[in-house]
Chain A
Amino acid sequence: MKPLEPVSPAARVVLGIAFFVIFFAAWAAVTFGGLVPKIFLADPVTMLREGWYLITNHGFLVDIGVTVWRVVGGFILAALVAVPLGLAMGAYKPVEAFFEPFVSFARYLPASAFIPLFILWAGVGEKQKLLVIFVGSVFQIVLMVAVAVGSIRRDLVEAALTLGARDQGIVARVMVPYAAPQIAEILRLVLGWAWTYVIVAELIGSSSGIGHMIIESQALLATGQMIFGIIVIGVIGLISDFVFKAVNQKLFPWSTI
């Protein structure tokens, strides 16, 4: 191995899979080997069996659907507010001066700490879940989009000006397309964070969803089910990441040349 030496595509796939194999092998070894009591950590086979049981007997697929809906719903609401605001802040410095200090402050308010308050305001229904994800995502997206738009190369703006572009043209046809791939990347990143907020919201007060299942399983000491729930979240995250990347490549072919 030498620093920065490239790895072949085939070797990359093999190496990537190898770690999963080692991980599951180690897990199987400590559980089947009796190093860890079953009550604390289920073995992989039990985990899969209990997962299947959850899906067939407890309608776990509905829980998964509910959680996905909450994440996507709250996230889309946040993006609808945050992306235009971030664009305005990145393009117009007075707008940035007006919002930036507050948004920077709000960004550090942990979304999970709002959950008790949101339960008071909105109950334990869907509204409260969407609110948690919205609050957790919106400030992050605003700030990151503002930075992405504001970091536009000055010479590109100047070139557009000498070509006769006016303020609106600069924003709509120079700043937005310049920042679009970065904005897509920001949304991909923040969507990942939104997953942690939804699970926390479901752990605290909920009657459905993956988080709800996990907390129910804890009461039954069903570690297999809990781990299955966690792995499902990981798999969904991986899929959404993959979809996002594919869509970005399709939408912005120029940025990946």
Chain B
Amino acid sequence: MSGVVVAGVSRTFPGVRGGAPVQALAPVDLTVTEGDFVAILGPSGCGKSTLLRIVAGLDRPTTGTVTLDGKPVSGPGADRGMVFQSYTLFPWLTVAENIAFGPRERGTPSAERRAIAEKLMAQVGLTQFANHYPKQLSGGMQQRAALARALANDPKVLLLDEPFGALDHQTRSLMQELLLSIWEEHRKTVLFVTHDIEEAVFMANRVLVMSARPGRFKSEVAIPFAHPRSYKLKTTPDFSRLEEQLTEDIRSETIIAVQAGF
């Protein structure tokens, strides 16, 4: 079976200072077939990031397994690229060096590394900033570089943990279009975690709504819009209808989350 298969994965964190253990994630099942773009939507604290981190291999499930193309995931690896919400470019490396980091770790010759970095910088519009350090870039530029860095390993799966969460609304829209155009070109398997409904509907082919803690999948909505998609899609009645439906689904969960004090 190609793609990502999450089977019965749950995660319980041990209690802090003798407190009761916290179940962040109820056992969940999820299959992301190769080339699909799946968004996971949920209120904060619902365990959606925990699930993504388990797929990335940065966290271990309490129960269940994750497989990629049939092989069990036991730790982080270059076949699953990740972009984080926080700015995680290495501050001591330039943009070009940051993008070439993954290939360098895997022993790619330097000429080839440079070619990869140049191609990706052109794709995300950072060619003129090749020799800038991350601190010299805006938030949006840093996340574009982080996306290019994750793509430099040519991963099978792209895991995105609210990568545009810290950006302003306008930059965010442009980043969504950029990511979408890259996906439309490469058709990489994407698992995208967000709490932004518009973002999920605009980019994904499937949107999964997660319940409040402990997270479970509450509903799934197929997004029927054809690719390539334009930003103008966001103002169509069909788009609004899907947004409304998801808003209803997630609202009740957010109320539960707020009452539980997350």
Contact = CB atoms under 8 A, between A and B. Distances in A.
Contact of A177 (B90, B106, B146, B159): B90
A257 B58 contact: no
Contacts of B56: 162
Nearest to B87: A155
Given A161-B76, A162-B76, A163-B105, A178 B92 contact: yes
B81 to A, nearest CB: 6
Contacts of A177: 90, 92-93
Contacts of A158: 58, 76, 82, 84, 88
B80 A162 contact: yes
Contact of B136 (A155, A164, A257): A257
A254 interface: yes
A213 B106 CA distance: 59
A39 to B, nearest CB: 57
B149 interface: yes
Contact of B106 (A160, A164, A173): A164
B133 interface: yes
B102 interface: yes
B119 interface: no
Interface of A: 153, 155-156, 158-166, 169, 173-174, 177-178, 180, 252-255, 257
Interface of A is mostly: helix
14 contacts: A156-B88, A161-B57, A162-B82, A163-B149, A163-B153, A164-B106, A165-B105, A173-B104, A173-B105, A177-B90, A177-B93, A178-B90, A254-B91, A254-B92
A251 to B, nearest CB: 10
Given A155-B86, A173-B105, A254-B133, A162 B92 contact: no
A180 B90 CA distance: 13
- Which 8 A-B pairs have CB atoms at the shortest separation, nearest pair first? A164-B78, A163-B102, A161-B76, A159-B88, A162-B82, A177-B92, A254-B133, A257-B135
A150 B125 CA distance: 35
